[in-house]
Amino acid sequence: MVVHLQIAHGVVSGAAGPTADTVRPALSVSKPNPGCSLASSVFLMCLADRVWVFGDCAINPNPNPQQLAEIAIISAQTAKAFGVEPKVAMLSYSTGSSGTGPDVDAVVEATKIAKESAEKLYPGLPLDGPLQFDAAVDPKTGASKMPGSPVAGQATVMIFPSLEAGNIGYKAVQRTANAVAIGPVIQGLNKPV
């Protein structure tokens, strides 16, 4: 409320409580930015030698392809704001056309929408998918599974297809790679949270 009333410039909270207790009031008081249809989140995954940006791991349970595309574009913008050069991987259990099914189809559609949006909102943004996590971050695997991709093997922004996948993914990296997970950073609101 103090941010809404312009007494404070932003909110940093939640270190000693559940994420939901911090996010819920922010979503009910702050409205989306003009041009954003939803709020979403990213975690800055700080590893020993790099920072990855993982989205959405805290807010949207099952985004549709249009929402997933929007999350991808705004996550790239958030990455850039934090000094991470965005190379966006639309994650799936399939790389390219290696797998099939409705979940893969949704990521294929989201990738298409995100590429079209990027032409207007973020020209030159490297974005590709569907990519499995290993193809997104490991250069040898990326070159083998998705040759010619501007993102495979060098992704810095990982867009998970669901909240379940994203939350599991960030916690797995946090606990096994000794990464510091900063977030969730809420994006798409008219106030910084």
Average predicted confidence (pLDDT) for the chain? 92
pLDDT: which is higher, 136 or 190? 136
Quick one: average pLDDT of 40-65? 96
What pLDDT, in 10s, does the model give residues 54-73? Answer: 999 999 999 999 999 999 99
What pLDDT, in 10s, does the model give residues 118-145? Answer: 998 889 999 999 999 999 999 999 999 9
Q: What percent of the chain has pLDDT over 70?
A: 100
pLDDT band at 22 (very low <50, low <70, confident <90, very high): confident
Quick one: average pLDDT of 92-117? 94
What pLDDT, in 10s, does the model give residues 141-177? Answer: 999 999 999 999 999 999 999 999 999 999 999 999 9
pLDDT: which is higher, 120 or 45? 45
At 66 the pLDDT is 97
The two tokens of residue 114 are 């995100």
pTM as predicted:
0.92
